[in-house]
């Protein structure tokens, strides 16, 4: 049983709610990356498992757009120093293309969700506050301020300052949401009185004039949406951590049972430079050690990205290495589940397509020729089939460009690589001459026939197959290694192949 069904069964047994609400939330303070995506994939999987089991369930995502910009991240221009402490929804887009800072990082992520086929109800925290959805919770929190402070101190062991307030006013003069002290409030008028460190004294409305401190905000959100299930990074799950605090706040202040928690381990980014030791780092937007979701989706089909994350139980960490290990996972997926893409695209393994697009040098019409030569039946009149193929080929090209290790890359040499062939023995060259005979009348052999032929020639000439491979790779690619030889030879234009092998033999 997939872990998502096991979790769904446990939730159904534990909570008798009529409708389950699975909640997610990511702060759009920088590019939303593959590490962040785990929360979404887990929530989506559990939501699907609930629905499949016949339970009513919603899947929601709340963007923490009303959170302050904590510091000027390295990717921000120097003048963004001035925006520290302001809510992300109220800061201009650093690149000027969206309505706000928050939208600039949120929108590409929402587009990625579409590509991934994940449907969630999307909410923005600033809009929730401005619409008044939090008013009742803010009143409760202010009225029970002392009890709240006691809970936070007891659970987290953190003593709060005397002027602490559960509500953080948004200063109308400096625009910061983390700099003012609450001096009093009026529950009937629904406003607080504050003094800001900038010198301003003002009045802030419960409707968008500020927000609840985040541990309280989290618990308030559970009640507002009726959240029953929430996945979150394991750092929040430590004893005395934010989930423990949230649970106490939810139970004792808001009179609502905390959701069923699904703490999950991190996704670590593994990078392996060939010949060097692998480097493993936590993904972080602020440190630049991450791959944004919208970027990886240019090089990896969405079903693969989902597979890579959902095949691992939430309590196990994932080492994400977008180079060869990712290619191996694509192999595994295509072998054990289904080929990526419909029609001919689904029949050509991704790994093989990696070879074909390199032979075609990025030209789609050449790619179609190469595909036909390598023995696949192509329906050239079928537009849908060509579209799917083009899509898969683009993934292959982008993966090659961005993540492939040098060992997978090759370049078909337009001219005979004379210099490189100097390292090839006479005997090896003679074998190339022999192989040229098998291309007759513009006809080449199939991948399997080529493979067998090479071993047959090896046995007949007493040259090791390995040496024959080296010779033919050098003649074609200018280096002693390359993709599977049978596939390579079968994919090449027979006339080119014959001439190249003959020329190499004569050298």
Q: What is the CA radius of gyration of the chain?
A: 30
Among 82, 99, 159, 198, binds Zn ion (CB under 5 A): 198
Question: CA nearest 286: which of 87, 72, 63?
Answer: 72
- In DSSP terms, 68 is beta-bridged to 87
| Interaction of residue 181 with Zn ion, rule CB under 5 A | no
Q: Rounded to whole angstroms, what are the CA distances from 139 to 146, 361, 452?
A: 13, 65, 79
Backbone angles phi, psi at 21, to 5 degrees: -120, 115
Strand order in the sheet with 56-63: 121-124, 56-63, 19-24, 229-233, 260-264
Part in contact with Zn ion (CB under 5 A); list of ranges 138-146, 173-181, 217-225, 379-387: 173-181
Q: C-beta of 485: minimal distance to Zn ion in Å?
A: 48
| Interaction of residue 104 with Zn ion, rule CB under 5 A | yes
| Interaction of residue 7 with Zn ion, rule CB under 5 A | no
Part in contact with Zn ion (CB under 5 A); list of ranges 194-202, 312-320, 430-438, 477-485: 194-202
Part in contact with Zn ion (CB under 5 A); list of ranges 98-106, 132-140, 303-311, 489-497: 98-106
**Is the Cβ of residue 98 or residue 387 nearer to Zn ion in the bound state?**
98
Q: Which two tokens stand for residue 229?
A: 């299930």
Judge contact between 211 and 177, C-beta under 8 A: yes
Part in contact with Zn ion (CB under 5 A); list of ranges 33-41, 102-110, 201-209, 315-323: 102-110
**Is the Cβ of residue 201 or residue 279 nearer to Zn ion in the bound state?**
201
Q: C-beta of 207: minimal distance to Zn ion in Å?
A: 19
**From the CB of residue 209, how many other CB atoms can be counted at a distance below 10 Å?**
22
In this structure, what is the dihedral angle of CA atoms 321, 326, 328, 330, given to the nearest 10 degrees?
A: 160
| Interaction of residue 415 with Zn ion, rule CB under 5 A | no
| Interaction of residue 77 with Zn ion, rule CB under 5 A | no
**Is the Cβ of residue 181 or residue 458 nearer to Zn ion in the bound state?**
181
Part in contact with Zn ion (CB under 5 A); list of ranges 104-112, 116-124, 146-154, 496-504: 104-112
**Is the Cβ of residue 85 or residue 471 nearer to Zn ion in the bound state?**
85
Q: How far, in Å, CA of 50 to CA of 13, rounded?
A: 12
Entry field: residues in the chain: 507
Q: How far, in Å, CA of 380 to CA of 359, rounded?
A: 19
**Is the Cβ of residue 60 or residue 179 nearer to Zn ion in the bound state?**
179
SS (H, E, C) 336-355: HCCCCCCCHHHHCCHHHHHH
| Interaction of residue 200 with Zn ion, rule CB under 5 A | yes
Q: Which two tokens stand for residue 100?
A: 């706000």
| Interaction of residue 97 with Zn ion, rule CB under 5 A | yes
Question: CA nearest 102: which of 125, 132, 72, 129?
Answer: 125
Judge contact between 497 and 489, C-beta under 8 A: yes
Part in contact with Zn ion (CB under 5 A); list of ranges 90-98, 359-367, 415-423, 468-476: 90-98
Q: C-beta of 27: minimal distance to Zn ion in Å?
A: 17
Part in contact with Zn ion (CB under 5 A); list of ranges 3-11, 121-129, 169-177, 418-426: 169-177
| Interaction of residue 83 with Zn ion, rule CB under 5 A | no
Q: C-beta of 232: minimal distance to Zn ion in Å?
A: 27
Judge contact between 20 and 50, C-beta under 8 A: yes
Part in contact with Zn ion (CB under 5 A); list of ranges 87-95, 230-238, 268-276, 425-433: 87-95
Judge contact between 43 and 256, C-beta under 8 A: no
Those residues whose C-beta lies under 8 Å from the C-beta of residue 388, and which sit 6 or more positions away, are 341, 342, 343, 344, 345, 346
Judge contact between 61 and 121, C-beta under 8 A: yes
Q: C-beta of 175: minimal distance to Zn ion in Å?
A: 7
Judge contact between 436 and 501, C-beta under 8 A: yes
Among 79, 95, 336, 419, binds Zn ion (CB under 5 A): 95
Q: C-beta of 475: minimal distance to Zn ion in Å?
A: 50
**Is the Cβ of residue 181 or residue 457 nearer to Zn ion in the bound state?**
181
Residues in the interface with Zn ion (CB under 5 A) total: 11
Q: C-beta of 171: minimal distance to Zn ion in Å?
A: 3
Interacting positions 443-472 with Zn ion (CB under 5 A) = none
Q: How far, in Å, CA of 104 to CA of 402, rounded?
A: 23
Give the angle 307-308-310 at the CA atoms, nearest 5°: 60
Among 171, 308, 345, 432, binds Zn ion (CB under 5 A): 171
**Is the Cβ of residue 95 or residue 377 nearer to Zn ion in the bound state?**
95
Among 37, 170, 196, 345, binds Zn ion (CB under 5 A): 196
Residues of the shown chain interacting with Zn ion in the complex, contacts defined by CB under 5 A: 93, 95, 97-98, 104, 171, 173-174, 196, 198, 200
């Amino acid at each position: 049983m997939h872990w998502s069904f096991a979790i769904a069964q446990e939730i159904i047994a534990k909570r008798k709610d009529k409708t389950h609400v699975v909640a997610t939330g990511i702060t759009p303070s920088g590019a939303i990356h593959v590490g962040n995506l785990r929360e979404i994939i887990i929530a989506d999987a559990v939501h699907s498992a609930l629905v499949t089991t016949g339970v009513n369930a919603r899947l929601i995502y709340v963007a923490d757009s009303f959170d302050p910009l904590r510091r000027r991240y390295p990717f921000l221009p120097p003048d963004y120093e001035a925006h520290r402490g302001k809510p992300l929804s109220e800061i201009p887009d650093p690149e000027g293309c969206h309505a706000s800072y928050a939208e600039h990082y949120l929108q590409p992520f929402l587009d990625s969700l579409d590509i991934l086929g994940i449907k969630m109800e999307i909410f923005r925290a600033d809009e929730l506050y401005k619409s008044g959805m939090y008013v009742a919770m803010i009143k409760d929190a202010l009225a029970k301020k002392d009890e709240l402070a006691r809970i936070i101190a007891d659970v987290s062991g953190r003593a709060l300052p005397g002027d602490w307030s559960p509500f953080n006013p948004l200063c109308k003069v400096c625009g910061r949401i983390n700099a003012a002290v609450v001096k009093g409030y009026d529950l009937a008028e629904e406003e607080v009185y504050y003094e800001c460190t900038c010198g301003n004294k003002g009045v802030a409305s419960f409707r968008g004039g500020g927000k609840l401190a985040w541990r309280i905000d989290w618990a308030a959100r559970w009640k507002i949406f009726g959240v029953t299930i929430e996945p979150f990074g394991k750092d929040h799950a430590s004893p005395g951590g934010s989930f423990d605090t949230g649970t106490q706040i939810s139970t004792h202040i808001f009179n609502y049972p905390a959701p069923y928690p699904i703490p999950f381990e991190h996704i670590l980014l593994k990078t392996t430079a060939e010949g060097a030791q692998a480097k493993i780092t936590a993904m972080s937007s602020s440190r630049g050690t991450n791959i944004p979701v919208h970027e990886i989706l240019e090089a990896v089909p969405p079903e693969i990205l989902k597979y890579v994350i959902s095949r691992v139980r939430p309590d196990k960490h994932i080492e994400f290495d977008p180079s060869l290990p990712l290619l191996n996972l694509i192999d595994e997926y295509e072998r054990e589940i289904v080929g990526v893409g419909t029609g001919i695209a689904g029949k050509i393994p991704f790994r093989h397509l990696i070879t074909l697009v390199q032979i075609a040098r990025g030209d789609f019409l050449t790619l179609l020729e190469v595909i036909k030569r390598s023995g696949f039946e192509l329906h050239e009149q079928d537009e849908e089939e060509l579209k799917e193929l083009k899509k898969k080929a683009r993934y292959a090209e982008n993966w090659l460009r961005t993540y492939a290790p040098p060992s997978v890359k090759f370049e078909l040499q337009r001219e005979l690589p004379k210099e490189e062939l100097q390292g090839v023995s006479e005997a090896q060259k003679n074998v190339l001459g022999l192989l040229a005979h098998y291309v007759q009348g513009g006809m080449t052999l199939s991948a399997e026939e080529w493979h067998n032929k090479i071993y047959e020639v090896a046995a007949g000439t007493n040259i090791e197959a390995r040496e024959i491979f080296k010779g033919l790779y050098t003649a074609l690619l200018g280096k002693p290694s390359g993709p599977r030889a049978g596939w390579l030879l079968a994919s090449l234009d027979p006339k080119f192949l014959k001439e190249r092998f003959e020329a190499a033999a004569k050298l």
